[in-house]
Amino acid sequence: MSGLLALLRRDIALALQLGGGGGIGIGFFVLCVVLVPLGVGPEGGTLARIAAGMLWIAALLAALLSLDRLFQADYEDGSLDQFMLSPMPLEQIVLVKAIAHWLTTGLPMVIAAPVLGVMLNLPVDVLPVLIAGMAIGTPALSLVGAIGAAITVGVRRGGLLLSILVLPLYIPTLIFGARAVENALLALDPVPALALTAAITLVSAAMAPFAAAAALRINAQ
């Protein structure tokens, strides 16, 4: 247990360092969404209509930005070899690293989302659904992303390949996360969409550590 916390603290500390990628994700997310009214125009009805989709698309892209360093840095400096000999199973290490990625990338986006939602003219009573959807949906971005990051770990400039591998796998989260807000806007029940978003996160939490650890073992050769 103390080993888990040591690894979690390490990854968070490294992400918050200059060039660690922690601040990049949230900065990109905010900028992306701020650009939308400039491109689409300030008409309130249009903005509210596309707000959920825009927020989610920006979140997917922002999560991708820092994913390529999730295992790459450890691979390049030999830490990955040491992880394989550590008393923790590699699957557990993957899970902890994905959690650290979410805490430094996903969580700030969850916190910023309602502010940006207001900016995009979302009604205030819809914001709780947006926050809930982001909170239960964004962990899947880090978890599924970990699989892609593990597969591309030995590839130079693998970030581009990673985007192409991972973005299609983000589609279910995008659909149901945005759908929940849309339903709330139309005064329909958002819970089924939220439940499906949660289901995707749970399935990725169960599968991603094993898939990513297997990919890392192959790439460590």
- The DSSP annotation for 125-162 comes to GGHHHHHHHHHHHHHHHHHHHHHHHHHTTTSTTHHHHH
CB 33 within 8 A of CB 116: yes
User: Considering beta carbons, is residue 5 or 31 the nearer one to other proteins?
Assistant: 5
- Can you tell me whether residue 20 is helix, strand or coil? coil
Give me the least distance between CB of 14 and other proteins, in Å please. Answer: 6
Residue 186 in contact with other proteins, rule: CB under 8 A: no
58 sits near other proteins (criterion: CB under 8 A): no
Among 57, 89, 127, 131, binds other proteins (CB under 8 A): 89
Is residue 154 a contact point for other proteins (CB under 8 A)?
A: no
CA 50 – CA 62 distance, rounded (Å): 18
Is 14 a binding residue for other proteins by CB under 8 A? The answer is yes
Provide the minimum distance between the beta carbon of 96 and other proteins in the complex, in angstroms, as a whole number: 10
Measured CA to CA, the distance from residue 182 to residue 135 in angstroms comes to: 17
Where do contacts with other proteins occur on this chain (CB under 8 A)?
2-3, 5-7, 9-10, 13-14, 17-20, 76-79, 81-82, 84-89, 220-221
